[in-house]
Amino acid sequence: MEILLTSTLTTLLYLSAAVYKGMQVTRRIPSSQTRTGLILVAITLLVHALSIYGLMVSSKGIDLGFFKISSLIFLFIGCIALSASLRGKQIDNLMVALFPLAATAVFLSALIPSAYTPKETLSGGILSHILISILAYSVLTIASLQAVILLVQEKELKKRHTKGLIEWLPPLQTMEELLFEMLWVGIILLSGSIISGAVFLDNIFAQHLAHKTLFSIGAWVIFAILLWGRHQLGWRGKTAVKWTLGGFVALMLAFFGSKFVLELLLHK
């Protein structure tokens, strides 16, 4: 019951933070109140951390179930978003979109029982692989959402629409620069994930890991081609967005696809 209450509180805090950030984006709250919004986000992430710890860690071991890991990934996403915001990056619009998704992940992780058998012990190598992988997924998830917003912004500007969403977003060039910054960080982390998996997992091409490994490598190749195209051919706009979303789909199939099939369909 205590875990359910903590998860419910986390859900409500995320929704409140999304509303507050939405009011900041639409300038219904003055920029002088930015610190209040950041404090609200920080409190939300702290409560989320306590909630997910209670859900994942028990006397039986560590539960790495589908919904638990999904919630943990959104905790990492929130921490990355908060860190970027503290460094002056204009990502309030991303928080507005991400926080309701985080609220949903938190609520489902507490509500739906896990089919995963908890691991009693995890070696340092395996734990580092898991953490690097989650960081990679988190950064590239934010980058993909940034790509979608960038696509919408570009379409609106081509139609000469300057009101509504467009007037609340940073300049197109700033949005594009932020996208590629996140892609560079994401592919470095994804490289670390693939390398650590090869080093610390017994057989990354074993039956239950083959799909995850191949899709992860496929995602890495897509992101690498995109960054090469940006540097050598000046790719931007729709081209950059399509490649970003293509890599994101491959990445999500690598993690969520394989985990969903193994846990929730095959109960392995």
State pLDDT tens for residues 129-178. 888 999 999 999 999 999 998 888 888 777 776 665 666 677 778 888 88
Residue 32 lies in a domain: yes
The domain in which residue 80 lies consists of 1-112
Residue at a domain's end among 112, 137, 166: 112
Sequence letter at residue 129 = H
pTM here is 0.84
The answer to which of 100-109, 164-173, 175-184, 217-226 has the lowest mean pLDDT is 164-173
pLDDT digits (tens, 9 = 90+) for 3-30: 788 889 999 999 999 999 888 888 788 7
Give the separation between CA 13 and CA 23, rounded to whole angstroms: 15
Residue 117 lies in a domain: no
Of 168, 18, 3, residue with least CA distance to 103: 18
Give the separation between CA 73 and CA 64, rounded to whole angstroms: 11
In this structure, which long-range contacts are made by residues 38-41, counting pairs with CB atoms below 8 Å and at least 24 apart in sequence? Answer: 38/82, 38/85, 38/86, 40/13, 40/16, 41/17, 41/78, 41/81, 41/82, 41/85, 41/95
130 & 243 share domain: yes
pLDDT digits (tens, 9 = 90+) for 23-71: 888 878 876 678 888 999 999 999 999 999 888 887 777 877 778 888 9
108 & 126 share domain: no
> What DSSP assignment string belongs to 81-136?
HHHHHHTT---HHHHHHHHHHHHHHHHHHHHSPP-SPPBS---HHHHHHHHHHHHH
Residue at a domain's end among 112, 137, 165: 112
Residue 223 lies in a domain: yes
Contacts of 89 (CB under 8 A, 6+ apart): 178
What sign results for the dihedral spanned by CA atoms 178, 181, 186, 189?
negative
Sequence letter at residue 222 = I
- Count of structural domains within the chain: 2
Residue 152 lies in a domain: yes
86 & 206 share domain: no
What was the pLDDT predicted at 266? 52
169 & 134 share domain: yes
Residue at a domain's end among 84, 112, 140: 112
Residue 231 lies in a domain: yes
Token pair for 6: 């903590």
